[in-house]
Structure 1
Amino acid sequence: MKLISWNIDSLNAALTSDSNRAQLSRQVLETIKYENADIIAIQETKLPAKGPSKKHLEILEEQFPDYTSVWVSSQEPARKSYAGTMFLYKNELEPEVTRPFIDSPCTMDSEGRIISLEFDNFYVTNVYTPNAGSSLGRLDDRQLWDEKYADYLSKLDEEKPVIACGDFNVAHEEIDLAHPESNRRSAGFTDEERQGFTNLLDRGFTDTFRHIHGDVEGVYTWWAQRVKTSKINNSGWRIDYFLVSDRIKDKVTRSEMIDSGTRQDHTPIILEIDL
Structure 2
Amino acid sequence: MSSSIRIFSYNVNGIRSALKKGLADWIATSPGEIICLQETKAQPEDIDTSAFEKAGYNCYWFSAQKKGYSGVGILTQIKPDQVFHGNGFPQSDAEGRVLQLQFGDILLINAYYPSGTSGEERQQYKYQWLDEWFEYLEKLKKQYPKIILCGDYNIAHKEIDIHDPKGNKNSSGFLPEERAWMDKFFASGWIDTFRYMHPHEAHRYSWWSMRFPTVRQQNKGWRIDYIAVTEPLKSSIIDADILPQVQHSDHCPVYLELKFPLKTQDSRPKK
TM-score range, shorter chain: 0.7 to 0.9
Counting only pairs closer than 5 Å after superposition, residues 11-50 of structure 1 correspond to structure 2 as 11-15=15-19, 22-23=20-21, 26=22, 28-48=23-43
Contact in 1 for aligned 2:115/2:154 (Cα 8 Å): yes
Q: SS of 1:56's equivalent?
A: coil
- Give the Å deviation of 1:32: 4.4
- What corresponds to 1:94 in structure 2? 80
- Give the Å deviation of 1:29: 4.5
Measured against aligned partners, the alpha-carbon deviations of 1:85-108 in whole angstroms (never above 9, x if no partner) come to 001111x5233100123436xx33
Which of residues 191, 211, 233 in structure 1 aligns to 2:218?
233
- Higher relative contact order at CA 8 Å, sep ≥6: structure 1 or structure 2? 2
Which of residues 44, 52, 58 in structure 2 aligns to 1:68?
58
Q: SS of 2:150's equivalent?
A: strand
Which of residues 125, 130, 138 in structure 2 aligns to 1:146?
130
Residue 83 in structure 1 maps to residue 73 in structure 2? no
Measured against aligned partners, the alpha-carbon deviations of 1:184-231 in whole angstroms (never above 9, x if no partner) come to 111110111111222222221010111111121100001111211101
Distance 1:134 1:199 in 2: 25
- What corresponds to 2:265 in structure 1? none
Contact in 2 for aligned 1:134/1:187 (Cα 8 Å): no
- What corresponds to 1:56 in structure 2? 48
What amino acid maps onto 1:30 in structure 2?
Answer: D
Distance 2:209 2:148 in 1: 27
Contact in 2 for aligned 1:150/1:203 (Cα 8 Å): no
Structure 1 length-normalised TM: 0.86
Contact in 2 for aligned 1:172/1:189 (Cα 8 Å): yes
Distance 1:83 1:168 in 2: 13
Contact in 1 for aligned 2:35/2:74 (Cα 8 Å): yes
The alignment's C-alpha RMSD in Å is 1.9
Distance 2:180 2:71 in 1: 25
Distance 1:257 1:33 in 2: 19
- What corresponds to 2:266 in structure 1? none
Structure 2 length-normalised TM: 0.88
Measured against aligned partners, the alpha-carbon deviations of 1:139-195 in whole angstroms (never above 9, x if no partner) come to 221111111112222222212300000100000001100001011111110111111
Q: SS of 1:265's equivalent?
A: coil
Distance 1:172 1:102 in 2: 26
Distance 1:254 1:52 in 2: 35
- Give the Å deviation of 1:262: 5.8
Distance 2:193 2:136 in 1: 19
Distance 2:73 2:257 in 1: 20
Distance 2:17 2:215 in 1: 22
Which of residues 145, 149, 155 in structure 1 aligns to 2:139?
155
Aligned residues: 255
- What corresponds to 1:117 in structure 2? 101
- What corresponds to 1:137 in structure 2? 121
Counting only pairs closer than 5 Å after superposition, residues 174-189 of structure 1 correspond to structure 2 as 174-189=159-174
Contact in 1 for aligned 2:14/2:40 (Cα 8 Å): yes
Pair 36,182 (structure 1): closer, same or farther in 2 beyond 3 Å: closer
Q: Kindly, what percent of the aligned residue pairs are identical?
A: 31
Distance 2:83 2:248 in 1: 31
